């Protein structure tokens, strides 16, 4: 074993789990570092509390006087917890979170100082924003950016810093972050869904979209991870021969959690409790060293913030345990990658989950309304939904050999399929009393019973109904959920808005009763969007062929998929729903394309370096040993040596072939990179995708072959079996 590998392994094997003691119940520490409603009630005057509460519930503006009171209270609370700094915490379009800490400390002359935090500093700040991606917005408008307090997501303390969740926008108003469009989309879906709810219950005042994400990740010992330049720089292995044992025995999923990992998880969960992230579930995933963490679902904006915060915290806690967390969608070839299922539902201020069937036929009609409208929304905008989860790393799952496919379809289970089939036959126009009764008793009325038995879960579906929520499973593990959630809530908002118009028109023009009109519109929606429903195996070629017939998109790569982000239809949609302007949509598209290009560029560079500077020299060393051996055999056996050196010569030849393969392919790849670097935007991304990236597999092939030919003692790169099975 090479020295680097040996040292890394030795370090790893000598690690002991960090001792974690949980002295307090989790419920007792939950939200202790959050400026939540309970804390606010304690620290704020009644006026200030009501002001903030009204902003949270109804989106009203907070005036300066109240902001001053809130900031002062926040400061007192933070100081009581030994906090020294504050920061506006936001999510620029890098996908990660950003923070710049300022001390409360302020001098007041005479060599004296105080702790200060005013309303102005709480409400708005101007970070030096020139280094965040803006997709040309700032050049076009010469606008500076500022961050503004989002009172709907409570401030929290992390370490010794008070973090204030904020939006990040240009002075001209364009969003420069992930949160702003999400908040607008959530407001749009609230308006549209509340209006539709009024058909069923006049008391509904607000509809909230919920999100429950499930975060998958790999944990690798930090010494092993550091020994691999590809993991360090790209978050995944760019080469590495598969281990003899992978996940074929199915012995990892839900298996016993290793001690070191469990200690990490407990430490992490404790931190999450303080931060108010309601983590609940933890388990081993399918691949070795792969795990999952899921919280109790929350209002979407808060859930998105919590997921972003969690990913950050996971990395920090991992350092304490000498782990590196890999969020990449496909860190290892040949075993499962990671995703982030986004469980989504809508619920009313009266406490009703609109995607959960109720007890009466009318509440079930309400359920069906939201259920069918969601399906129609997904059908109408499947390509945009696919684009919302496109990234260089997620391309390794979607459209590659991994669940789910790049084709967006909806799984609803056999019983609900049956219900939709029945509804498709509803009479046009007025319904007879018999038909109404039959619908109520035998179709709509039966839904709760059939759903109790909704156990046929289809793991290959990218968008599945699972009893009382839809599960968007195609989201990547590295993703910021804001992006897919913005799209999903926007398309559902648009759909519900159209639905309301259609139903009202039928009532007005044809004099139909409300439920008749609803049945009529739903019937047409079922007919129109049937093509997106798919219950079969999403992996197979058969589905690709079938999907093509159904005219569903199958955009396998990010540059292809992203085109839907700037189509006329998309821009019209976002503008109509007041979620994003054309400028904002185009800026995002530009940023996403560029990010794709840069990621593939980095991978190409790293792979070229490893192949040439690590693999080839190692192969030559081993080849020289073989050559020495052959020379020695010649000395002993003279003319007869070939009989004894046959296999060695064969190995020498094979090694030469692979070295040649690597060198020529790396040259060609570099050449393509040079050409691609002269291009911009879509063309650059296309070139990286179609001309540069294909060499990755070819170069890897030769490297991996050499890995199993070359003496293990010489091989410098930590192998898959070591990365995946060292505990």
Cα separation values, 101 from 89, 105, 113, 678, 715, Å: 9, 12, 18, 39, 44
| Binds 468: which of ligand ADP, Mg ion, none (CB < 5-8 Å by kind) | ligand ADP
| Binds 525: which of Mg ion, ligand ADP, none (CB < 5-8 Å by kind) | none
Based on CB atoms, which residue is closest to ligand ADP, 212 or 361?
A: 212
Piece of 57-65, 333-341, 405-413, 709-717 that binds Mg ion (CB under 5 A): 333-341
Per CB under 6 A, 210 contacts ligand ADP: yes
Shortest distance in whole angstroms from residue 299 CB to ligand ADP = 10
Both structure tokens of 155: 């401030």
| Binds 295: which of ligand ADP, Mg ion, none (CB < 5-8 Å by kind) | ligand ADP
Are 289 and 220 in contact by the 8 Å Cβ rule? The answer is: yes
| Binds 210: which of ligand ADP, Mg ion, none (CB < 5-8 Å by kind) | ligand ADP
Cα–Cα distance measured from residue 214 to residue 217, given in angstroms and rounded to the nearest whole number: 10
What kind and span of H or E run contains 217?
strand 207-221
Piece of 313-321, 339-347, 421-429, 530-538 that binds Mg ion (CB under 5 A): 339-347
Per CB under 6 A, 454 contacts ligand ADP: no
Q: From the centroid of its chain, how far is CA 351? A: 28
Shortest distance in whole angstroms from residue 471 CB to Mg ion = 5
User: In this chain, which of 5, 341, 497, 665 binds Mg ion, going by CB under 5 A?
Assistant: 341
Cα–Cα distance measured from residue 426 to residue 433, given in angstroms and rounded to the nearest whole number: 12
User: In this chain, which of 297, 367, 371, 411 binds ligand ADP, going by CB under 6 A?
Assistant: 297
Shortest distance in whole angstroms from residue 461 CB to Mg ion = 11
DSSP-derived 3-state class of residue 544: helix
Are 64 and 124 in contact by the 8 Å Cβ rule? The answer is: no
Of residues 277-296, those binding ligand ADP (CB under 6 A):
294-296
Are 486 and 185 in contact by the 8 Å Cβ rule? The answer is: yes
Piece of 199-207, 334-342, 544-552, 675-683 that binds Mg ion (CB under 5 A): 334-342
Shortest distance in whole angstroms from residue 121 CB to ligand ADP = 35
User: In this chain, which of 125, 161, 301, 343 binds ligand ADP, going by CB under 6 A?
Assistant: 343
Q: What is the 3-state secondary structure (H, E, C) of 298-328?
A: EEHHHHHHHHHHHHHHHHHHHHHCCEEEECC
User: In this chain, which of 92, 212, 331, 337 binds ligand ADP, going by CB under 6 A?
Assistant: 212
Chain position whose Cβ is nearest to ligand ADP = 212
Shortest distance in whole angstroms from residue 265 CB to ligand ADP = 16
Cα–Cα distance measured from residue 688 to residue 672, given in angstroms and rounded to the nearest whole number: 8
Per CB under 6 A, 353 contacts ligand ADP: yes
| Binds 607: which of Mg ion, ligand ADP, none (CB < 5-8 Å by kind) | none
Cα–Cα distance measured from residue 502 to residue 494, given in angstroms and rounded to the nearest whole number: 12
At residue 534, φ and ψ (nearest 5 deg) are: -150, 125
Shortest distance in whole angstroms from residue 286 CB to ligand ADP = 12
Are 613 and 662 in contact by the 8 Å Cβ rule? The answer is: no
Give how many residues touch ligand ADP by CB under 6 A. 14
Distance, first Cα to last Cα, the chain: 19
Shortest distance in whole angstroms from residue 341 CB to Mg ion = 4
At residue 463, φ and ψ (nearest 5 deg) are: -145, 105
Piece of 311-319, 337-345, 367-375, 610-618 that binds Mg ion (CB under 5 A): 337-345
Shortest distance in whole angstroms from residue 198 CB to Mg ion = 32
Based on CB atoms, which residue is closest to ligand ADP, 24 or 457?
A: 457
Q: How many residues does the chain have?
A: 727
At residue 270, φ and ψ (nearest 5 deg) are: -60, -45
DSSP-derived 3-state class of residue 647: helix
Cα–Cα distance measured from residue 468 to residue 86, given in angstroms and rounded to the nearest whole number: 40
CA angle 355, 358, 359 (to 5 degrees): 170
Of residues 146-205, those binding ligand ADP (CB under 6 A):
none
* Most distant pair of Cα atoms in the chain: their distance: 105
Both structure tokens of 685: 């991304």
| Binds 296: which of Mg ion, ligand ADP, none (CB < 5-8 Å by kind) | ligand ADP
Shortest distance in whole angstroms from residue 470 CB to ligand ADP = 9
Shortest distance in whole angstroms from residue 343 CB to Mg ion = 7
Shortest distance in whole angstroms from residue 468 CB to Mg ion = 13
Angle between helices 179-197 and 300-320 (to 10 degrees): 140
Per CB under 6 A, 466 contacts ligand ADP: yes
| Binds 371: which of Mg ion, ligand ADP, none (CB < 5-8 Å by kind) | none
Both structure tokens of 303: 């859930």
Q: What are the residues binding ligand ADP (CB under 6 A)? A: 210, 212, 214, 294-297, 343-345, 353, 466, 468-469
Q: What are the residues binding Mg ion (CB under 5 A)? A: 341
């Amino acid at each position: 074993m090479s020295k680097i590998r040996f040292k890394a392994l030795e370090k790893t094997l000598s690690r002991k789990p960090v001792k974690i003691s949980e002295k307090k119940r989790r419920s007792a520490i939950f939200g202790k570092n959050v400026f939540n409603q309970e804390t606010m009630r304690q620290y704020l005057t009644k006026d200030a509390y009501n002001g903030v509460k009204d902003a949270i519930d109804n989106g009203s503006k907070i005036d300066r006087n109240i902001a001053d009171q809130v900031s002062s209270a926040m400061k007192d609370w933070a100081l009581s917890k030994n906090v020294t700094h504050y920061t506006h915490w936001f999510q620029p379009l890098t996908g990660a979170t950003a923070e710049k800490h300022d001390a409360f400390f302020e001098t007041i002359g005479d060599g004296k100082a105080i702790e200060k935090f005013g309303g102005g500093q709480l409400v708005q700040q101007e970070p030096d924003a020139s280094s965040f991606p803006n997709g040309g917005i700032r050049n076009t408008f010469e606008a500076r950016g500022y961050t503004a307090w989002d009172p709907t997501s409570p401030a929290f303390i992390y370490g010794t810093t008070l973090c204030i969740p904020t939006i990040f926008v240009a002075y001209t108003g364009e969003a420069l972050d992930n949160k702003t469009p999400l908040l607008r989309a959530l407001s749009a879906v609230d308006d549209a869904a509340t209006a539709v709810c009024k058909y069923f219950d006049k008391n509904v005042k607000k509809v909230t979209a919920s999100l429950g994400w499930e975060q998958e990740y790999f944990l690798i010992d930090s010494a092993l991870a550091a020994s691999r330049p590809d993991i360090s720089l790209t978050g995944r292995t760019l080469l590495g021969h598969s281990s003899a044992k992978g996940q074929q025995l199915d012995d990892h999923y839900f298996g016993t959690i290793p001690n070191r990992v469990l200690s990490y998880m407990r430490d992490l969960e404790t931190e999450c409790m303080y931060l108010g992230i309601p983590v609940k579930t933890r388990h081993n995933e399918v691949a070795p060293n792969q795990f999952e963490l899921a919280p109790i679902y929350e209002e979407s904006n808060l859930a998105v913030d919590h997921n972003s915060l969690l990913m950050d915290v996971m990395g920090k806690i991992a350092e304490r345990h000498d782990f590196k967390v890999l969020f990449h969608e496909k860190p290892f070839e040949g075993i499962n990658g990671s995703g982030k299922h986004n469980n989504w539902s809508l619920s009313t201020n009266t406490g009703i989950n609109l995607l959960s069937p109720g007890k009466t036929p009318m509440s079930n009609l309400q359920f069906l309304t939201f259920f069918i409208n969601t399906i129609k929304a997904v059908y109408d905008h499947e390509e945009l939904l696919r684009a919302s989860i496109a990234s260089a790393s997620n391309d390794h799952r979607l459209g590659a050999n991994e669940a789910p496919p790049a084709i967006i379809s909806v799984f609803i289970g056999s019983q609900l399929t049956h219900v939709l089939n029945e509804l498709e036959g509803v009479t046009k126009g007025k319904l007879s009393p018999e038909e109404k009764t039959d619908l109520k008793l035998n179709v709509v009325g039966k839904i709760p019973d059939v759903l109790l038995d909704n156990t046929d879960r289809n793991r290959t579906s990218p968008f599945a109904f699972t009893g009382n929520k839809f599960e968007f499973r195609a989201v990547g593990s590295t993703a910021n959920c804001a992006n897919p959630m913005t799209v999903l809530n926007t398309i559902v908002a648009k759909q519900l808005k159209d639905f309301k118009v259609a139903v009202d028109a039928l009532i007005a023009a044809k004099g139909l009763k409300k439920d008749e009109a609803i049945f009529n519109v739903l019937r047409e929606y079922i007919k129109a969007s049937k093509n997106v429903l798919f219950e079969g195996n999403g992996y197979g070629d058969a589905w690709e062929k079938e999907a093509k017939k159904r005219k569903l998109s199958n955009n396998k790569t990010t540059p292809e998929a992203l085109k839907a982000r700037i189509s006329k239809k998309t821009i019209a949609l976002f503008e109509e729903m007041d979620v994003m302007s054309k400028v904002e949509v185009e800026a995002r598209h530009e940023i996403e394309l560029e990010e794709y290009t840069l990621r593939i560029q980095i991978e190409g560079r790293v792979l070229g370096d490893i192949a040439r500077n690590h693999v080839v020299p190692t192969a030559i060393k081993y080849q020289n040993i073989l050559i020495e051996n052959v020379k020695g055999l010649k000395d002993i056996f003279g003319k007869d040596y070939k009989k004894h050196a046959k296999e060695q010569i064969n190995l020498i030849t094979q090694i030469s072939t692979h070295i040649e393969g690597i060198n020529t392919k790396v040259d060609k790849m570099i050449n393509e990179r040079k050409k691609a670097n002269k291009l911009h935007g879509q063309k650059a991304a296309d070139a990286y995708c179609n001309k540069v990236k294909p060499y990755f597999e070819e170069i890897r092939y030769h490297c991996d072959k050499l890995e199993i030919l070359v003496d293990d003692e010489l091989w410098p790169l930590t192998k898959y079996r070591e990365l995946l099975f060292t505990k």
